[in-house]
Structure 1
Amino acid sequence: MAKRPLDDAEEVEVLSRAGLRAWLSANHARPAGIWLVTHKKSEGERYVSGEEVVMECLAHGWVDSLTRGKDERRSMLWISPRKPGSNWSRFNKSLVERLESEGLMTPMGRAVIDRAKADGTWTALDAVEALEVPPDLASALGGAGARAAWDAYPRSVKRGVLELLLNARRPETRAAKVAAIVEAASKGERPFQWGKPDKSP
C-alpha cells in the first residue's frame, strides 16, 4: 500500500498541557510540523483536551489540522507553524482573547498575530463569519431565482461555501465556483458536498 502524506513525519507524545507548552516553547521556531500524540479521555490524567491543544498552538504561533488514530489509547493531530496567508477564524480569535486574559499568550504567538493583522488575514474571514453574501454571488442567485434555496441552507453550509469562494484566487476560478453554487441551489442541492450524497437545504 502506498504511503500517505506525512507518514514519515516525526511523532511527539505529550502527557499534559504543561508538557505540550514546554515542547512548543522549545521548538516553536522549527520549520516543519509534527504528529502530536495525545491520550484519549479514558486515560485520565494523561488526557489533554482538543481545546487545550489548540490554545497552546495559538499561544506559540502554530496551528492544528489533520487528525489520525494511533491505537486504542491514543490519537494523533498534525500541528505545524502557521504559514503567512493563513486566515483566522472567529473561534480562534476568541481563544486568543482568552489566552491574553489568562496571561498565556507568548511573544511568538503575538508575532504571528501581528503579521496576520498587517497582511489582512486577521480580518479576512469576518464577512464569511457574518454570512455576508458577496455581490457577484447575490446577483447570480437572484438572477436564477435561487436565493430562497441559499437562505435555507444551514449556517455551516453557507459558511463553508463562502470560505471556498473567498479562497478562489483567479477571477475565472471564482466565476466557476459562483456558477456551481447557483446550479446546486437551483436544484435544491448543497454545493461542494464531495463524497456525500446531495441533500436538500
Structure 2
Amino acid sequence: MEATFFATQEEFRYWLQHNHATQAELLVGFYITNSGKPSITWPQSVDQALCFGWIDGVRKNINEDSYSIRFTPRKPKSIWSAVNIKKIAELTEKGLMQPAGIAAYALREEKRSAIYSFEKDEIPFSVAYEKQFKANEKAWAFFQSQAPWYKKLSQHRVMSAKQEKTQLSRLENLIKASEEAKRIG
C-alpha cells in the first residue's frame, strides 16, 4: 500500500469524512520538518483520527525525509490511553467529534482505559519490601540514584503482581540487578 500524504489536517479530515465508514485502513505519509515539504503532523493526524473513531498504528520510515503510519478504525475492545481520553474531551469541547468517533469512545471499556504502567499512580513498595531492599545497601543506593520514571516503573512491576510469591520474585530480581548496578527490563 502506498502512503497518502496530506499537507494539512483539514485534508486528512476531508478524507476521513468521506472514507472512515468504508475503508479498512489508510497508510498516512508524513514529511519531516527539515524536508521543506508541507505535511500534517502526527499529533494533528491523531486528533482527526479520534474524531472519526480511527486510531494510529506503527510508524515506519519511508526514506530520510518521510515516514508512514497505518491508521485503522478503532476496535471496540481496544485500549484507550489516558492521553487519548483527554484528547476526546478537548475535541468534544471544540465541537470536532463526529458520530463515528463518539460511538467508538462510547464503546470503550473502563477496565481497558488508561492501563499502561506509565499512566498509573505510583505504587510504593510495602514497608516490608522496602526494608528488605534497604538491607542491601549497595543495591538500594543504586536504585535511589535512578531516574524517577525508572523507580516508578520498577515499583509498579513489583507491587502490581497479584501473588505475593510473584512480588517477592520480582523484588529479588530487582535487588540483584541493582546490586550489579544494572536496570531491569
Task: Using structure 1 for the length normalisation, give the TM-score.
Answer: 0.64
Equivalent positions of 1:31-180 (< 5 A) are: 32-42=24-34, 46-116=38-108, 118-125=109-116, 128-133=118-123, 143-145=132-134, 152-157=145-150, 180=173
Shift of 1:56: 1.0
Q: Which moved more, 1:33-42 or 1:49-58?
A: 33-42
User: 1:141 touches 1:182 (CA, 8 Å); kept in 2?
Assistant: no
- Aligned mates of 2:155, 2:76 — CA distance in 1: 21
Shift of 1:78: 2.2
- Aligned mates of 2:107, 2:11 — CA distance in 1: 27
Q: Which residue of 2 aligns with 1:184?
A: 177
Report how many residues are paired.
Answer: 179
Identity %: 22
Q: Which amino acid aligns with 1:124?
A: I
User: 2:4 touches 2:27 (CA, 8 Å); kept in 1?
Assistant: yes
| 152 and 139 in structure 1: CA distance in 2 versus 1, 3 angstrom threshold | farther
Q: Which residue of 2 aligns with 1:199?
A: none
Query: SS at 1:112's partner residue?
Result: helix
Unaligned segments of structure 1, at least 5 residues: 1-8, 193-201
- Aligned mates of 1:24, 1:67 — CA distance in 2: 19
Q: Deviations over 1:77-133 (max 9, x none)?
A: 2222233443322222222222112111112112221121x45222434x7424422
Q: Deviations over 1:23-60 (max 9, x none)?
A: 22333245743321123334667321121011112212
- Aligned mates of 1:42, 1:120 — CA distance in 2: 41
| 23 and 31 in structure 1: CA distance in 2 versus 1, 3 angstrom threshold | closer
Query: SS at 1:93's partner residue?
Result: helix
User: 1:16 touches 1:45 (CA, 8 Å); kept in 2?
Assistant: no
CA RMSD for the aligned pairs?
3.8
User: 2:57 touches 2:71 (CA, 8 Å); kept in 1?
Assistant: yes
- Aligned mates of 1:164, 1:32 — CA distance in 2: 36
User: 1:24 touches 1:60 (CA, 8 Å); kept in 2?
Assistant: yes
User: 1:54 touches 1:63 (CA, 8 Å); kept in 2?
Assistant: yes
Unaligned segments of structure 2, at least 5 residues: none
